[in-house]
Amino acid sequence: MDKIVSLCKRRGFIFQSSEIYGGLASTWDYGPLGAELKRNLKEAWWRSNVYERDDIEGLDASILMHPMTWMASGHVTSFEDTLADCKSCKKRFKVEHLVKNKCPECGGDVTEPRQFNLMLKTYLGAVENEASLTYLRPETAQGIFVNFQNVVNASRKKIPFGIAQIGKAFRNEVTTGNFTFRSREFEQMEIEFFVKPGTDEEWYKKWVEDRFDWYIKFGIKKENLRKRPHEKHELAHYAKSCTDIEYKFPFSTKGARLPDGQGSASGGGWSELEGIANRTDFDLKQHMNLSTKDLQYFDEETRERYIPYVIEPSGGIDRSILAFLTDSYREEKVKDEKRVVLGLHRKLAPIKAAILPLLKNRDEIVKIGKSLAADLRKSMRVMYDDTASIGRLYRRQDEIGTPYCITVDVESLTDKKVTVRDRDSMKQDRVSLPQVKEYLLEKFE
């Protein structure tokens, strides 16, 4: 993990927020490469779930919502962590992670458990009082529920159908740490998939498989991913069933929920990337009661009116990024030299191709490289770099996961071809200049 954290800072994936002031605990900024990776991840998720299906619509709801929303969802009354501090090592744990009421790390005695509400408060308008109090949303889901009727009316979608949203969420987490794994401001990618009651468990199972496969498709190694159904006592107040997709992170899982016998709170590493829950009709029913608006769905075929059940695949962008970075990191020996590679999936890689002129003092070579870069830029994110020897340039690109490096050499002047090197196999292809773009685009399809 230390290697990932250091790579992230050095190469500009992730920085500590407000670092020049000593940092703000558990908040993070994405640097130039991190911003690209994040965009690519969101794009991959949106494409898979919205564009490649015909039963999901997108939404972009605001972060600030009417405070009644959070009364209805149950967050005001029950979005709490119960925590206890270890009297010996001073670390703080959720009570469900204590081992026989002792510290899971050092076995020491712990303090009386205390309740913490995780909602971040804010005030709207000029006067700070109860009437102006609202919250920074702790999940994006509620923006979807309160817009359910709007989306049905506007899109004329028939059940089963879903609404997808990517956006910021805020939680005043008390047990933080492990880099970006649990932060106070983070992004979620959530789908609320509305189904007819009675078909809910079937859809739930489908979504668990679908979401598991998605992470594998984008490069997570199978042995590092697992599905963990929740025990009854772990279920959130709104859930009938829930399965976590867990990734085997290379750090202590302090603060993550681990059932008995599945790893320890100080070693296992298995932690939630995404939860798929059967939320039943809990949320729509609650909003219907508190808003007194009819949120039932009318099935034109059967002439039935009912409140749909909801299956919710809810994942974190930041946790996924951490998992993709960790999973793709590898160190290899090439001709007795260490090669660090981020083997990111091509769709996720921040830079798709790097153009590297072999001789930066030969104007004709530089000219070819720069004009190739300018042309490729219209279709993908590329980088032009001539600031080191070719060996160094390759290493730099391998380390940030650039799938293709293109070198322009003396021969290019006569044969009008360039060499395209594949990051993983290191195999080289000689490609004619006018065909480079097509060659690359084909690889990215």
Task: Choose which of 274, 385, 386, 398 interacts with ligand ATP (CB under 6 A).
Answer: 274
Helix (H, G, I), strand (E, B) or coil at 387: coil
Q: Is 273 in the site for ligand ATP (CB under 6 A)?
A: yes
* CA–CA gap between residue 257 and residue 237 (Å, rounded): 16
Which residue has the CB atom at the shortest distance from ligand ATP?
316
192 binds ligand ATP (CB under 6 A): no
Please tell me whether residue 398 binds ligand ATP under the rule CB under 6 A.
no
Residue 183 binds to ligand ATP (criterion: CB under 6 A): yes
Contact positions with ligand ATP (CB under 6 A) in 303-342? 314-316, 318-319
Alpha carbon distance 36, 146 (integer Å): 31
The angle at the Cα of 167, spanning 164 to 168, to the nearest 5 degrees, equals 150
**Residue whose entry in the numeric block shows the structure tokens 């030969």:** 362
- For residue 322, what are the CA distances in angstroms to 4, 223, 420? 9, 17, 29
Number of residues that bind ligand ATP (CB under 6 A): 18
Tell me whether residue 56 or residue 245 sits nearer to ligand ATP (CB atom): 245
Identity of the residue, 270 or 394, whose beta carbon is nearer to ligand ATP in the bound complex: 270
Burial per residue of 251-279, b for 16 or more beta-carbon CB atoms within 10 angstroms, e otherwise: bbbbbbbbeeeebbbbebbbbbbbbbbbb
* Residues 75-104 close enough to bind ligand ATP by CB under 6 A: none
Instruction: Give 200 or 312: the residue with its C-beta nearer to ligand ATP.
Output: 312
Choose the binding region for ligand ATP from 127-135, 272-280, 357-365, 423-431 (rule: CB under 6 A): 272-280
Are 321 and 219 a contacting pair, CB within 8 Å? no
Regarding 188 and contact with ligand ATP (CB under 6 A), the answer is yes
- The 3-state DSSP class for residue 59 equals strand
Instruction: CB nearer to ligand ATP: give 318 or 327.
Output: 318
Under 8 Å between Cβ of 143 and 62: yes
Binding ligand ATP by CB under 6 A: which of 143, 162, 275, 369? 275
Distance CA 263, CA 270 (A): 7
Closer to ligand ATP by Cβ: residue 200 or 274: 274
- Contact indicator for 58, 152 with CB cutoff of 8 Å: no
CA 282, 287, 292, 295 torsion-angle sign: negative
Residue with tokens 């990111």: 344
Q: Which residue number, 287 or 319, has a Cβ lying nearer to ligand ATP?
A: 319
Which is closer to ligand ATP, CB of 84 or CB of 356? 84
Stretches 160-168, 180-188, 379-387, 395-403: which one binds ligand ATP (CB under 6 A)?
Answer: 180-188
Chain positions contacting ligand ATP, by CB under 6 A: 139, 171, 173, 182-183, 186, 188, 256-257, 272-275, 314-316, 318-319
